[in-house]
C-alpha cells in the first residue's frame, strides 16, 4: 500500500449542486459589494468637502518658526476630523464590509476554477481570505485610532501645530495603516490570480477576467497615485454579480454547466474558424458546452472540420 494517498475528490454532481446553490447567493453578494464599493468611494469625498486647507506658503512659514499668534496650522483639520467622527466611522464600516464580500466572491470563483482544473496556486485562497480580513481590520483600526487621537486633541489645551501632528500619528493609527497596506497587497495578488484563473477555464469572459486583474493592480497603484479606483472595482463586481445570477446578456458561460474547462478561443483559432465557416460568425469557444447541467463531459465530442 502506498505511503501517501491522493485525497478523493468529491463527486462531480455534488460539486455542481453546491455551486448551483451558492451561485445566486454569491451573485447577490457581488452586487451588494458593488453598492458598498460605490458608497465607500463617494462618502469620503462628501464628508471631506469642507476640510480646512493648509497652504504650502503657510507650511513653510510655520516650519521656519514664525508665530501665527493662535492655534497651529493643522488644528482646524484635526478638529474637523473630530466633528465628523461618526460619518467617517460609518464610511470605514462600509469599506470593511465591502472588502469582506469581495473576499467571499474571490474564494467562490477560485473553488469553481480549481474544480475545473485551473492551475491557480492554492495560496490564492489564503491571500484572498487574509487580504480581505486585513483590509477590513486595517480600515476600522485606522479610523478608530484617528477618532481617539482627535478626541484627545480636542479636549486638551495645547492646540499647537506639533500637538496636531502628534494627534494623527498615534500607535493605533500606525497599526491600522500598516495592516491595511498589507491587506491591500495580498488582496491585490488574489484578485489577479483568481480572475485570470477563472477566465482561463471559461468561468469568466475575457473582458471580465482581464478587468478583474486590472482591479488587483489598481488596488496597489491607486493609493500610490492618489487616483480613485472604486469605479473600476464597482463595474467589475456588478458584472460578476450579473454573470453569477445567470443574467449575462450572451448567456452564462458553458463552463458553469459541468466540470470541464472550456477555454476561450485564441485569435488564431477565431480566424481559422471563420475561414473554415466561409466567413460567417466564429464560435466563441474552443470546445462545446456540456449537454446539460450535472453531466460533466457527457457531450464532449470532436467536431469534424468542414471542408
Which pLDDT score is estimated for 4?
Answer: 45
> Does residue 27 surpass a pLDDT of 90?
yes
> Does residue 73 surpass a pLDDT of 50?
yes
130 compared with 154, residue with greater pLDDT = 130
Mean pLDDT of the chain: 80
Q: State the CB neighbour count (10 A cutoff) for residue 56.
A: 7
Which pLDDT score is estimated for 225?
Answer: 57
1 is a domain residue = no
Q: Please state, in angstroms and rounded to a whole number, the distance separating the CA atoms of residues 127 and 80.
A: 36
33 is a domain residue = yes
Q: Please state, in angstroms and rounded to a whole number, the distance separating the CA atoms of residues 306 and 302.
A: 12
Which pLDDT score is estimated for 221?
Answer: 85
Which pLDDT score is estimated for 275?
Answer: 73
Q: Please state, in angstroms and rounded to a whole number, the distance separating the CA atoms of residues 45 and 133.
A: 24
199 is a domain residue = yes
- φ/ψ of 250, rounded to 5, equals -95, 15
Which pLDDT score is estimated for 270?
Answer: 62
> Does residue 207 surpass a pLDDT of 50?
yes
173 and 197 in contact (C-beta within 8 Å)? no
Cell numbers 487621537 correspond to 149
Which pLDDT score is estimated for 3?
Answer: 46
282 is a domain residue = no
How many domains, the chain?
A: 1
> Does residue 71 surpass a pLDDT of 90?
no
Which pLDDT score is estimated for 12?
Answer: 79
| Average pLDDT, integer, range 165-187 | 87
Which pLDDT score is estimated for 306?
Answer: 39
Name residue 72's beta-bridge partners.
Answer: none
Range of the domain at 191: 12-60+70-250
Contacts of 81 (CB under 8 A, 6+ apart): 88, 146, 147, 150, 168
> Does residue 49 surpass a pLDDT of 80?
yes
Q: Please state, in angstroms and rounded to a whole number, the distance separating the CA atoms of residues 232 and 215.
A: 7
Q: What is the pTM of this model?
A: 0.79
Q: Residues 241-259: pLDDT tens digits?
A: 999 999 998 888 999 998 8
190 and 123 in contact (C-beta within 8 Å)? no
| Alpha helices (runs of H) in the chain, residue ranges in sequence order | 12-47, 56-63, 75-83, 85-115, 123-154, 161-167, 171-200, 206-225, 230-244, 267-276
Which pLDDT score is estimated for 122?
Answer: 87
36 is a domain residue = yes
236 is a domain residue = yes
Q: What percentage of the chain carries pLDDT values higher than 70? A: 75
C-alpha cell of 200? Answer: 482561463
Q: Please state, in angstroms and rounded to a whole number, the distance separating the CA atoms of residues 185 and 58.
A: 36
278 is a domain residue = no
Q: Please state, in angstroms and rounded to a whole number, the distance separating the CA atoms of residues 94 and 72.
A: 32
Q: Please state, in angstroms and rounded to a whole number, the distance separating the CA atoms of residues 40 and 92.
A: 8
C-alpha cell of 110? Answer: 477560485
Q: State the CB neighbour count (10 A cutoff) for residue 278.
A: 7
19 is a domain residue = yes
Q: Residues 96-149: pLDDT tens digits?
A: 999 999 999 999 999 999 999 999 998 999 999 999 999 999 999 999 988 888
Contacts of 101 (CB under 8 A, 6+ apart): 29, 30, 32, 33, 36
Which pLDDT score is estimated for 285?
Answer: 53
Amino acid at each position: 500500500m502506498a505511503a501517501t494517498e491522493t485525497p478523493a475528490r468529491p463527486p462531480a454532481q455534488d460539486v455542481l449542486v453546491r455551486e448551483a446553490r451558492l451561485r445566486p447567493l454569491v451573485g447577490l453578494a457581488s452586487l451588494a459589494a458593488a453598492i458598498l464599493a460605490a458608497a465607500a468611494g463617494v462618502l469620503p469625498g462628501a464628508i471631506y468637502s469642507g476640510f480646512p486647507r493648509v497652504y504650502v506658503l503657510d507650511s513653510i512659514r510655520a516650519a521656519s518658526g514664525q508665530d501665527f499668534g493662535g492655534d497651529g496650522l493643522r488644528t482646524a483639520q484635526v478638529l474637523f476630523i473630530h466633528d465628523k467622527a461618526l460619518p467617517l466611522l460609518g464610511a470605514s464600516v462600509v469599506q470593511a464590509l465591502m472588502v469582506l464580500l469581495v473576499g467571499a466572491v474571490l474564494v467562490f470563483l477560485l473553488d469553481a476554477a480549481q474544480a475545473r482544473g485551473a492551475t491557480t496556486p492554492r495560496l490564492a485562497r489564503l491571500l484572498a481570505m487574509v487580504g480581505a480580513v486585513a483590509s477590513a481590520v486595517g480600515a476600522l483600526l485606522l479610523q478608530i485610532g484617528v477618532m481617539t487621537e482627535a478626541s484627545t486633541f480636542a479636549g486638551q489645551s495645547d492646540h499647537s501645530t506639533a500637538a496636531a501632528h502628534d494627534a494623527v500619528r498615534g500607535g493605533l493609527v500606525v497599526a491600522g495603516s500598516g495592516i491595511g497596506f498589507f491587506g491591500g497587497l495580498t488582496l491585490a495578488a488574489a484578485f489577479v490570480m483568481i480572475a485570470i484563473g477563472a477566465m482561463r477555464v471559461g468561468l469568466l469572459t475575457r473582458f471580465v477576467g482581464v478587468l478583474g486583474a486590472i482591479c488587483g493592480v489598481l488596488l496597489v497603484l491607486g493609493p500610490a497615485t492618489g487616483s480613485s479606483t472604486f469605479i473600476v472595482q464597482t463595474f467589475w463586481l456588478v458584472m460578476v454579480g450579473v454573470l453569477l445570477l445567470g443574467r449575462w446578456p450572451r448567456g452564462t458561460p458553458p463552463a458553469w454547466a459541468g466540470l470541464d474547462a472550456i477555454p476561450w478561443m485564441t485569435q488564431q483559432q477565431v480566424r481559422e474558424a471563420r475561414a473554415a465557416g466561409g466567413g460567417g460568425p466564429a464560435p466563441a469557444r474552443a470546445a462545446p458546452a456540456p449537454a446539460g447541467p450535472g453531466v460533466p463531459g457527457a457531450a464532449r465530442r470532436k467536431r469534424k472540420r468542414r471542408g
